[in-house]
Amino acid sequence: MQWLEGLWTREGAGIDKDAPRPTGLALFFDVLRREWWEMVKLNILFLLFSLPVVTMPAATLAMARVARSFAADENTYLLRDFLEAFHRYAWRGTVLIVLCAVMTGASGYAAVSYAQAAHLDIIYSFPLAISVMVTAFLCLMSAYAIVMAVSYDPPISKIFRQAALLALLKPLPMLAALAFVGALWLAHILFYPMSVFMPATINFSLGMFAICFAARNIEAFAHQHGQRNSGDQPE
């Protein structure tokens, strides 16, 4: 049974210290090439720990914590790191995910309602455009908030404030990541039933890795922003 234990507990793939460090998309695909099997196992762990449904927020942040390590080129011990993060973010993860889901869901519902009304009266086109933009902004903010929550444990109020700022100042990397996530699920739909195993094997973990990769520099941004706020305060 040692091979089975090693499958889940051994250290993840490392990197050659003498190799030139790739950047951008080259780094994304380099990490994906090295960690694809770990991502498959991470996807399975997420699904297993999400089965009770109420544990899905904690499992999401646990998956994000491991995916962030992948994006940062850090060595990982998959099962240990996932379990530690699952327990660590059980409460905060639930609060964060529920708040993000409520805000984004309410805005999305408003957009759908205005879209239906716009078929009858063009006057609803303006509120439709506003609600679509708000929904997109909340999606960006939620994605940044999830990565921020597992990066350096700020208070939830600070998470949303800085995530909103990131969504305003750096929307393109996260938009690209969310488009990649959408493409994964579109591929699952278009190529069904050949793609029937995509959600069970890779979609969730690969999508989270793309989101974490897009936000891999947020700690430096948060540190800069925090210093700027501290400097603005009167003595």
Residue range 196-233, pLDDT digits in tens: 899 999 999 999 999 999 998 887 666 666 545 544 44
20 is a domain residue: no
**Farthest CA pair distance, the chain:** 67
Within 8 A by CB and 6+ apart from 90, the residues are 55, 58
Domain count, the chain: 1
Residue 91 sits in which domain range? 25-216
* In a domain? residue 121: yes
Is residue 54 included in any domain, yes or no? yes
Is residue 228 assigned to a domain?
A: no
77 beta partners: 11
* 11 located within any domain: no
In a domain, 89, yes or no: yes
Report the sign of the C-alpha dihedral through residues 208, 219, 99, 134, in that order.
negative
pTM over 0.95: no
pLDDT digit string (tens) for 140-192? 999 999 999 998 878 888 899 999 999 999 999 999 999 999 999 999 999 98
Per the domain annotation, does 184 fall within a domain?
Answer: yes
Q: Give the pLDDT confidence of 29-38 residue by residue, as tens digits.
A: 999 998 999 9
Residue 226 lies in a domain: no
Under DSSP, the state recorded for 201 is: I
